[in-house]
């Protein structure tokens, strides 16, 4: 971690903080990274977290801390690799894939290949994909078929490595721009299934708590009321499992779980459906842990070590993006796709996965 300190004189007075630091920090620290660092509390003025557009004053003492940057992944060539894809929807403009747990979405330090991006490139541009892609390329103008050059290889949003489920991928610049705007405007509806520890007491609820980089552990996120970014998560309980829950009185939304003698666990847990208004890094995992009900198998935000979950046959956080709804970028018609619960989660649902009905989740 590199640390920098600056003292503001009369000449710098009135400059925006982010622009000032762009001219003072090494070229490897981009303005976008500086703005992100300011939002996450890596930059302080007089020991206080401020906004990116803060105007400097005489005598301001600025402190900034940035890790040395690895070679940006965008500067490395993207290579098509024959990695199997579970495609649940595809047309000329876009495709939706069901990402398995364990597959990294984008190339990054330690994972420069073998990612979803490499798999998508193979599917779309390798000649061995067969006539279907040849016909597809014939339909789309050559200038539009630019998957390797699209931002983030056409992937509109992301999932953590060990989170499974649906991801939306654009094939053209037009589609990528339209879908990215929908994501920013919160028009893309993403719904998740999660198994969490304990019995969630209320049948539904909303967690509205800002999320930012943890001040001490920079690789993880945390609820941060000072310096965090707005984050809103809606949830509703589908079913409670495990040992009986004693309900005191008739508290609002408190429902005793149905005894499940076939449950594969001797501790209480809950199946919930989650929908997002925002898409912060690790948002569901951070918010559910903040609520006191971390996701099963999550060694980062949960209370139990990996060895505990390994002993129960769980090798990742049990979180799955099962539903995706958006407006098609060219036809302007609604598209909704879904993916069934993966086996490592389904085996924790005695009697099989439940039907998922519309409604709830605060929407």
Q: Known catalytic residues?
A: 160
The tokens 């190339």 sit on which residue?
107
Which H, E and C letters describe 230-285, residue by residue?
Answer: CCEEEEEEEEEECCCCCCCCCCCCCCCCCCCCCCCCCCCEEEEEEEECCCCCCHHH
Residues 6+ apart with CB under 8 A from 121: 78, 79, 80, 81, 147, 148, 153
Closest to 160 (Cα-Cα) out of 111, 95, 230: 111
- CB distance 212 to 281 below 8 Å: no
- Residue 289 is encoded by which pair of tokens? 């842990």
Return the ∠ at Cα 305 (arms to 191 and 348), rounded to 5°: 45
Residues 6+ apart with CB under 8 A from 106: 73, 115, 116, 117, 152, 153, 155, 158
What is the DSSP annotation of 45-66?
A: ETTB---TTPBP-TT-EEEEEE
Calpha distance 124→130 (Å, rounded): 10
Q: Where does residue 148 rank: exposed (0-12), middle (13-18), buried (19+ CB within 10 A)? A: middle
Residues 6+ apart with CB under 8 A from 268: 197, 198, 199, 240, 241, 242, 243, 245, 257
């Amino acid at each position: 971690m590199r640390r920098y300190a600056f003292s503001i004189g009369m000449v710098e007075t009135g400059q925006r903080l982010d622009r000032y630091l762009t001219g003072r920090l090494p070229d490897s620290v981009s303005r976008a990274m500086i703005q992100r660092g300011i939002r996450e509390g890596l930059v302080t003025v007089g020991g206080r977290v401020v906004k990116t557009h803060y105007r400097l004053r005489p005598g301001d003492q600025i402190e900034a801390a940035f890790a040395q940057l690895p070679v940006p992944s965008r500067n490395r060539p993207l290579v098509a690799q024959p990695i199997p894809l579970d495609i649940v929807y595809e047309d000329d403009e876009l495709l939706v894939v069901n990402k398995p747990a364990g597959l990294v979405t984008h190339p990054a330090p330690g994972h420069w290949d073998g990612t979803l991006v490499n798999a998508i490139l193979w599917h779309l541009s390798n000649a061995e994909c067969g006539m279907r892609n040849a016909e597809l390329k014939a339909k789309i103008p050559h200038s539009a078929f630019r998957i390797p050059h699209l931002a983030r290889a056409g992937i509109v949003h992301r999932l953590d490595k060990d989170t499974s489920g649906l991801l939306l991928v654009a094939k053209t610049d037009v589609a990528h721009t339209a879908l990215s705007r929908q994501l920013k405007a919160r028009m893309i509806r993403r719904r998740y299934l999660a198994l969490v520890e304990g019995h969630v007491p209320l049948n539904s609820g909303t967690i509205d708590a800002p999320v930012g980089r943890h001040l001490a552990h920079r690789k993880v996120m945390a609820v941060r009321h000072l310096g965090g970014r707005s984050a809103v998560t809606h949830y509703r309980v589908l079913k409670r499992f495990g040992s009986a829950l004693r309900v005191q009185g008739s508290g609002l939304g408190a429902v005793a779980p149905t005894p499940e003698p076939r449950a594969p666990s001797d501790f209480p847990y809950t199946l919930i459906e989650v929908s997002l208004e925002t898409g912060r890094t690790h948002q569901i995992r951070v918010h559910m842990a903040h609520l006191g009900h971390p996701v099963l198998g999550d060694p980062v935000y949960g209370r139990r070590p990996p060895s505990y979950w390994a002993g129960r046959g769980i090798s990742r956080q049990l979180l799955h993006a099962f539903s995706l709804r958006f407006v098609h970028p060219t036809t302007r018609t609604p598209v909704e796709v879904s993916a069934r619960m993966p086996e490592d989660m389904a085996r924790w649902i005695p009697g099989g996965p439940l039907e998922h009905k519309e409604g709830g989740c605060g929407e």
